[in-house]
Amino acid sequence: MNRYFYYLVLTNMLVNVIAFVPRVLIRERYQGTVMAIVICAAIETLLMYLFINSVKHFPRKGTPEIFAQLFPGWLKNGLLFYLSFTWYCAGVITMLAFTDFSRKFLNPHMSHTGIIILYLTIVVLVCVLPSDRILYLLEILLVLSVPLIFFLLTKSFFNKSMNWDNVKAVAMYYNKVPAWTTISAGTYIFSGYFNIAIFNRAFDQLKSKHLWLAPLLGVTIMVTTISIPVGFLGSDAVGDYVFPWVSTADAMRIELGFIERVMFIFVFLYGLIAFASMIFHWHVSFELLKGILPLTRYSSRRRKGILYGCLAVYCASVLWSGYFMNDVRLFKWGELWLNIRLPSEMLFVGIMVYAARRLKN
C-alpha cells in the first residue's frame, strides 16, 4: 500500500499545472520564483519528513481518531472543522478553475452552472466511497494518464519551438528573494502528503522509505511548470496568459498518429488528474467533518440524512461561489487560500509531531 502515498503526492503535483500555482509563479518570475524553488523544496521536505515519521506511529488511524486521543471535544472539533474547511476549499478552487477552463476551451456554449453541476455529480458520487476504493481508482487514473503526460513533457523539452534563451533570461533572476505568496504557491505543489490525514486508515504501516523521491519529483515538476511556458510563449509575453499551460499545449504539435494538436490530449489527461484531485480533497474534507458529528447517537436512517445534508451544503456552496466568481475574483480567492494554507499545514504537522511524542511518553 505504500505506493499509494506517492500516488497522492504525484496527483497533487500534476494538478497544479492547470490551477493557480503556474500563474503565481510565472507572475513573479522576475521577483523570486527561481529562489522559491529551492526554499519551497526545503520547507516541504522538512514538513513531509516530520509528518510521515509522526503518522507512522498511528497505523490504520485517521486524524479524527488521533485528535480524539489528545484533545478535549471542543478543541478536537474546532481543529477538525478548520482542517475540513481548508481542504474543502482546495476542492472548490480546483473545481471552479477547471470549470472555467472547460467552458473556455471545450464547450463555450454550455452554461457555467451546468458544467459545475456535471462535475459536482461525479465528484460527490465518488468522494463518499471508502478510502481504499478511492485509492484504487486513483491508481487506475494515474496509470492511464501519467505515461502520456510524461511523453508530452519530454517532447516539449525537445520541441524546436522551445526557446531556451527565454528560460535563461528568467533564471538570471535567481538572486531575487521571493514574496510570501510565491512561497505559498510553490509549497502547495509538494503538499499532497496532507491527504494521509484520512488515507492513513488504509495503511498498516506507513514507511518513510524512498521519501527523497517526493521532493525530487516536486522540484522537477516545479521547474517544468515554469520553464516550458516561458520557453514557448516568451519570458515577457507568458505573463499575459490566463492559462499559460493550455496556450503552451496549443502551440505544440505531434506528428504521430491521427492527433496533431496537443491541446486536446492535454485537456483529456489533465481532466482525469483534476477529477482525481477534487475527489480526494473532498473525501478528506468530508471524513474530517464526519469526525465532528455525533453520528453514533442516531439511527442509521438519520445518520444518512445528516451526511446527505452536509453534502448538499457542499454542493450549494460551490454553486453559489460559481455564480458570483469571475476570472479575477477566482484568482484572488485562490491566492488568498494559498497564503492561508501554508501556516495551516505547518500547524497541522506540528500537532502530529506533538501527538507522536506524547504517544512515546
Give residue-wise pLDDT tens across range 14-47: 887 777 788 889 999 999 999 999 999 999 999 9
Percent of the chain scored above 70 by pLDDT? 97
The reported pLDDT for the residue numbered 293 is 82
Long-range CB pairs of 120-124 (<8 Å, 24+ gap) are 120/95, 120/315, 120/318, 120/319, 122/275, 123/91, 123/95, 123/275, 123/278, 123/279, 123/282, 124/282, 124/311, 124/314, 124/315
Coil, strand or helix at 233: helix
Query: Does residue 136 contact residue 291 with C-beta atoms inside 8 Å?
Result: no
* Residue 172 CB partners (closer than 8 Å, separation 6+): none
pLDDT of residue 60: 87
Q: How many domains are there within the chain?
A: 1
CATH code (residue 291): 1.20.1740.10
pLDDT mean over 205-230: 85
* Cα first-last separation, the chain: 29
pLDDT of amino acid 349 = 94
Mean pLDDT of the chain: 86
What is the residue whose three cell numbers read 447517537? 297
* Residues 6+ positions from 20 with CB-CB distance below 8 Å: 93, 97, 185, 331, 334, 335, 338
Is pLDDT of 13 > 70?
A: yes
What is the 3 state secondary structure string of 97-110?
Answer: HHHHHHHHHCCCCC
Predicted confidence (pLDDT) at residue 195 exceeds the cutoff of 60: yes
How does residue 361 score in pLDDT terms, banded at 50, 70 and 90? low
**157: pLDDT strictly greater than 90:** no
Handedness of CA 170, 151, 44, 41 (dihedral sign): negative
Nearest CA to 327 among 238, 242, 229?
A: 242
Give the domain extent around 111: 2-360
The confidence score (pLDDT) of residue 260 equals 67
Region label for 257, one of left (φ > 0), alpha (ψ between -120 and 50) or beta (otherwise): left
In which band, very low, low, confident or very high, does the pLDDT at 257 lie, cut at 50, 70 and 90?
low
Average pLDDT over every residue of 152-169 = 86
pLDDT, mean of residues 99-108: 80
Once rounded to an integer, what is the mean pLDDT over residues 290-309?
79
Question: What are the angstrom distances between the C-alpha of 212 and each of 147, 232, 319?
Answer: 21, 31, 40
User: What is d(CA 279, CA 275) in angstroms, rounded to the nearest whole number?
Assistant: 6
**Is pLDDT larger for residue 249 or for residue 176?**
176
Where is pLDDT greater, at 361 or 152?
A: 152
User: What band does 249 get if pLDDT is binned at 50, 70 and 90?
Assistant: confident
Query: Residue 30 has which C-alpha cell?
Result: 522576475
Work out the pLDDT band at 300, boundaries 50, 70, 90.
confident
Q: What is the reported pLDDT for 312?
A: 92
What does the pLDDT read at residue 120?
92
Q: What is the pLDDT of residue 212?
A: 83
Can you give the length of the chain in residues? 361
What is the C-alpha to C-alpha distance for residues 243 and 22, in angstroms, rounded to an integer? 8
Distance, in Å, from the CA atom of 314 to the CA atom of 88, rounded to the nearest integer, reads: 8
User: Does position 1 have pLDDT exceeding 60, yes or no?
Assistant: no
